[in-house]
Structure 1
Amino acid sequence: MGSPFVLSRATGWRRSAAVNTILLALLFAALVTSTFFVGEQTQSFLGNYFFYMGDCDRTKIYSLVTHLALNVVATLVFSAANFGMQILNAPTRDEVDAAHARSRSVEVGVPSLSNLFFVLSKFKVFAWLLLMVVSLPLHMLFNSAVFMTDFPGREWNLTIAAEPFLNGADFFIPGASLAMPGFEEGYGRLINASTLLTDASRMSLELRAIAATGTKWKRLDPAKCRKKYLKCHGGQNFKDLIVVVNTAGSTGTTQGWTRSQVFDLAPPAAAQWDRLVPSNSMNSLWFSTACEMVSKPAKGTTACTQTCANALGIHDESDITSPLNPLGGNDTWTIKFQASPNQFGDVTTGFSRAGFKFGEFNELDVQYCLAQESKPVCKLGVSPLMMGLSALCIAFIASLLLLILKNTTEDTLVTPGDAISSFITKPDPTTENMCTLTISDKVGPASRLFARKRGQTFGLEAPREWSRRTNYKGASVSPLSWFLTYAFQLWSLGVLIFPTSGLGRATRKTAG
């Protein structure tokens, strides 16, 4: 057991180990603080906290820089763990003497499995293995702590209207359909009647701004429009949408709809709606709402939910891929606004939709769409779970380094210089006077004792002729090391080449 460690008096590898331990402790404290901060923001250590949102190209740059910095930190932590493993792998002078007495060589200054399993103490072996296990996942954990989402979802406004809406024609919210935003699931964000009455003027101004700027948006034909806005990832480069429609079966351009044409309301409901939508005034707006498309994992793939699917005629999953206009195929698009005539919404407010002429006005032919172009938005997020696991690994490494400082004695031979100095100061009893000893001259205790009983002297203990031999640079590496290195390289090359080779393609074809 070593004496109490004091940093100011530490020298050599002990000072380096102490500095590594202090830096790891500071990093651990920073990670724990960050983990609890992120956990507080997400209200769960299993959630994710998004700390940046912006243009995807810029987000990719930030993600790259962040991961480079994380890899630098992970590499430094791994180096500290590797330094501790090298210290643990270094034998003490007593361990060297004991190994030499058993005619076993000891390696100093290099990582050695021979030292690990045949020379070192159980504490060193256990600590070395624990350091290896804890340090291996460091880069994976650090890289997983920060991630980028290339499709975090998007919010957009949907407006279904007749063409005169774009030219400044009159309209009345919520539109000729009398459908409140979110009146049922699949029709956007919910806005109740009281809110609509309060914010009617503001919402009208927003719709007039959309009508004024919408004429400058990108025009999409019906087929392309449905592809962009009905599928999850189709509209990443688009935002708000105006769908220009005609009443199905009508000739010419629909100028709008009157409430008396579209609905046969009961007198109490008609009186309520008179406050918002006049009975006989032309209304160029059919429906408008705020929509959201959110990506979420499903069975190993990325699926999405769309809050305006029903408003665009998607009442079943198969509607996304099947022709929406049975007569015209996929070149045209007919929206079935409701799945059934019994979708009245919330009737408790008095703004009832009962009396909708479902057979005449439920189907709308899409003439074209106007889509607001926008760059896709990506996010950078952080996982408190991965941060916590990284902090736990760092705590283990710092604790083990502290144990190494406490339990490693001063006579540990970390470098060849340490070994030379130790043997000069105190010769090894087993190899004393063997001035020409080499690794190939190892002699067992039994052979040495037998020779001495016969009165013979080992050649190692007496002068012997120096014979000059030709040495090659390649001989400095053992044949086993050469074999393992080239075998691994050939295996890696085979893994890279085989999938693209004719044999690899033939194997996949046969399996298919």
Structure 2
Amino acid sequence: MVVRRAPTSYRRLRDEDDVELKETTNSIPLHLLFNSAVFPNLQANQYSVLPATEDFLNGAAWNASGLIDVATNTSESIVKAAEQFRTNLMKHSNYKNMSTADCFHAYSNQYISEIGDALLIQEAVIWRSPDTWRPQWANHSGNYTWVRHSTSFPRPLNYDDELPFTSSPSVYPSNGWRCPSRSLTNCTASSAVEVPSPDVWAPYGSPVKYCLVEEVPERCELQLSFNIVTSVIICNIIKATCMWLTLWRHRKPGLVTLGDAIASFLDDPDPETEGRCLHSKELFQAEWQWERHHNREEITIDPEAFAPQRQRWGKASSKRRWFATYMLYIIAIIVASVFIKRSLQGMPSSFKGLWATGLGTLNGNNLLSMSTSLVGGVILANVPQAVLSYLYLCFNALYTCMLVAHEWARFFYERRTLRVTSPSSQQRSSYWLQLPYTYAVPLTVASGLLHWLASQSLFMVQITVVNDDGEPDPGLSISTCGYSPVAIILTTIVGSFIVLGGIGTALRRYPAGMPLASSCSAAISAACHPPSEDIDAAVLPVQWGVVDGGGKGEVGHCTFTSMRVTEPVPGKLYA
């Protein structure tokens, strides 16, 4: 039998891997901008902290008797600064009294917006010079033992070495003054070594009796970027216009589902694929490759012997698609592993402590060490969203190929009506494209969870720093991106489950029988050459198998048909 090669319309199989790339390319501006069109601008206050005795509130001079090994000029500077602090305190009436525990917790965050300066009232203020004293770390009772060292001895830690203490939101930790050890760099006020209980908190030598805390009006804002919103609207208009033009130019019913394709070829069998009823997608690819190599216009097609094989589901998709999808995933995992390692630096080592850092929470030690513009921060924070969207499309395409082949294989052992987009007679309507709800719903939920976790993993940060005068200081404002180690780890785990699910699904096997067609239109067409008397097969329940009188001589014929069929015999020839 001499048959011309399949027309170019069947060659679309070779371009199927580009569909999700084009879709993602069209949506990249939306993925990079849409999530941050509306964003918060947080407030962070600079503030000062002064420990003092209760008589200081009654007009007495600041008691400097607790300053140990402090130079005279330094002591005089502290007393002068304390007097200025009291002047500011008396000038403003917006101070409130706080208990020791409430005061301790009120300053537990890096960025403070509701309160400002704090006056700590203690029985006595003991403040040792950091040049000659250091804490003894061996004492785990919470009451540090201070030991004297040589003036030439290098400071082992970054100490709080000034009074009053000035807290700056741009320096982490800004609340290191809460630690009795006065270690600004390694302060962990939640540790029982530093503070056994907030009720007996003693940051400057003796327990705090209560605090006077300045109340500051908040200026946190929810901002809308006009440029970003405009860009998103323009992109949506362009995308909607392209969709409308596509629908307008192609008004005829399209081949959307597998049932649409089978129905189309049953109504109008294509002579180009006649005599190839056992041709699979893989065999058509081999033919096309041979034709290109030999530059032949026609080839001889011989009948094939039926040899049933139980193919794995993964065989339904091309090797190129599998490679591209999982190579991108491997790259994403490597990048995520690097980010996880770096994000854990300076974070609690215990699981409980790490979990306490939260998802998408701004702690001060989880900021990128670079400043960004508004648009730059938005794009940087949303790059993972674009990557995840492309990965989702890749895995969606893999599942689509496997489930199309699964729907195809069911016609071998079960007579079924066709699932089409515009049903007539006994045809079934379609509420989904190729992914049944049992697959589509979990995949969509996992994708939504993945995108939400990604938004908590890397997020834009805009902070307005308010100085001691209550005015925003543009020079100290923070514009960068924050990150959450917990969210990055969870994003990686959820993404890995999706990937492992793809591998597990690919290892399943189709029942032995029909050649594997997947989404190859040529292979679908080859299986749709019913007997001439079967004129309404497309709208009736159909099954694939051997039809009586369909072949020539000893050669049988397999096809979709509404007529009676039998199973093909292994080893027998069919065309």
Q: Same fold (TM over 0.5)?
A: no
* TM interval, short-chain normalised: 0.3 to 0.5
TM-score (norm 1): 0.32
Bigger RCO of structures 1 and 2 (CA < 8 A, at least 6 apart)? 1
Structure with the largest fraction of helix: 1
